[in-house]
Chains A and B, each alone.
Chain A
Amino acid sequence: MAETRHINAEQKAQIARQFIEAIPFSKALNMQFEVIGDGVAQISMPYSEALVGDPRTGVIHGGAVSALMDTCGGAAVMSYPDAPAGTATIDLRIDYMRAAEPGQRITARAECYHVTRSVAFVRAKAWDLDEDQPLASASGAFTIAQGKAAEVKP
């Protein structure tokens, strides 16, 4: 039993890596998978000068944080048990609570908390230094693709 779980974890990690590799925009932002499974995903993104939105402060542009949250939300939906491998964002709302610390890696965690036959509901948060001091939160709805044709078989 334990061994099966171990294999599954490895397979999951491999799928997660392939997932990012397969998404050019996430790759361009150097996103990195940290945790994925059972409707929860955690992805981080390193600080980069190219992502700066305010040159005077060096703070990362909100759009880059949105991209991280969106990728994380989609990954959470795809990792939901029995969910198909394809999803698209229907809507996503981001609340920016504070500016990100310049120079710091940003981590996002998304949770797919309810799924119907057609829609997945997701909430997410992002932080830099301390998970308990989030810089942004998000909530959104994602599509559940009909049919299992697109399901990933490792």
Chain B
Amino acid sequence: MSTSRKPPEPVHLVKHRRDKALSALVDGVPYIRFMGIGFDRRGDELTAVMNYDDKLIGNPLIPALHGGATASFLEVAAIVELSFQMLWDDIETGRLDVETLTPDALPRLPKTIDFTVDYLRSGLPRDAYARARVNRSGRRYASVHVEAWQDNRDKLFAQATGHFLMPQREG
């Protein structure tokens, strides 16, 4: 048994690697940019943030976010969470070379099979947050639940469940 332990990697390198991988997943997708969606990362936990913009409104009289904007936000949050989890081990072991990582070099993304959105209250004209949980991720299929809120974490304004077809990975 060896007594020499590998020294822990400097924290800035760890963060850099994880953030690079996340931005490769997110920055290359035009629709995520169009929607003004970004991601906060704490370790492996992601929070999707949809910055308010007037174009996201569906009913100007209330005013309320468009159901389609909410659905898009939830679906983006679900796919990025699932993809980030799928890549996590490769990011941590360094198998994924983040320095040369471009959206083209990433493994293919999961494909949505179905997505069901539950609208709990109308979306207010302000920033929205979402967190997704992968309930099951097999070799071929994954089931993801996602919750979105605005000012108050306990008052969800929408939630969704989606099923995804996982990309076939070589090796």
Q: Are A63 and B75 in contact (CB under 8 A)?
A: yes
**Chain B residues, Cβ within 8 Å of A56:** 103-104, 108
Q: Are B55 and A49 in contact (CB under 8 A)?
A: no
Chain B residues within 8 Å of chain A by Cβ, number: 40
**With A22-B60, A56-B104, A88-B122 given, is the CB distance from A61 to B55 under 8 Å?**
no
Q: Are A63 and B57 in contact (CB under 8 A)?
A: no
Q: Which of A24, A88, A99 contacts B54 (CB 8 A)?
A: A24
Q: Is B66 interfacial (CB 8 A cutoff)?
A: yes
Q: Are A93 and B115 in contact (CB under 8 A)?
A: yes
Q: Which of A52, A89, A96 contacts B31 (CB 8 A)?
A: A52
- Report the separation of the CA atoms of residues A58 and B60 in the bound assembly, to the nearest whole angstrom: 32
Q: Is B134 interfacial (CB 8 A cutoff)?
A: no
**With A25-B68, A74-B67 given, is the CB distance from A63 to B35 under 8 Å?**
yes
Q: Are B115 and A94 in contact (CB under 8 A)?
A: yes
- Report the separation of the CA atoms of residues A66 and B115 in the bound assembly, to the nearest whole angstrom: 9
Question: What number of residue pairs across chains A and B have CB atoms under 8 A from each other?
Answer: 131
Select the residue from A25, A53, A94 with max chain B CB neighbours within 10 A: A25
Q: Are B103 and A66 in contact (CB under 8 A)?
A: no
Interface residues of B in 87-143 (CB under 8 A from A): 103-104, 108-109, 111-119, 122
**With A50-B30, A51-B34 given, is the CB distance from A63 to B72 under 8 Å?**
yes
User: Could you tell me the distance in whole angstroms from the C-beta of A69 to the nearest C-beta in chain B?
Assistant: 8
Q: Contact mask B34-65 → A, CB, 8 Å, 1/0?
A: 11000000000000000000111111110011
Q: Is A64 interfacial (CB 8 A cutoff)?
A: yes
Which residue numbers of A lie inside 8 Å of B, CB to CB?
22-29, 49-56, 60-64, 66-71, 74, 86, 88-96, 99, 150
**Chain B residues, Cβ within 8 Å of A24:** 54-58, 60, 66
Q: Which of A27, A63, A70, A96 contacts B111 (CB 8 A)?
A: A96
Q: Is B149 interfacial (CB 8 A cutoff)?
A: no
Q: Are A28 and B55 in contact (CB under 8 A)?
A: yes
User: Could you tell me the distance in whole angstroms from the C-beta of A140 to the nearest C-beta in chain B?
Assistant: 9
**Chain A residues, Cβ within 8 Å of B67:** 67, 70, 74, 88-89, 92
Q: Are A50 and B56 in contact (CB under 8 A)?
A: no
**Chain A residues, Cβ within 8 Å of B156:** none
Residue of A nearest to B113 (CB): A96
Q: Is B86 interfacial (CB 8 A cutoff)?
A: no
Q: Are B73 and A63 in contact (CB under 8 A)?
A: yes
- Report the separation of the CA atoms of residues A53 and B65 in the bound assembly, to the nearest whole angstrom: 21
Known: A22-B60, A94-B116, A95-B114. 17 other contacts (CB 8 A): A23-B58, A25-B58, A50-B30, A51-B30, A54-B29, A61-B75, A63-B76, A64-B68, A64-B72, A66-B68, A66-B71, A88-B67, A89-B119, A90-B118, A91-B119, A93-B115, A96-B111
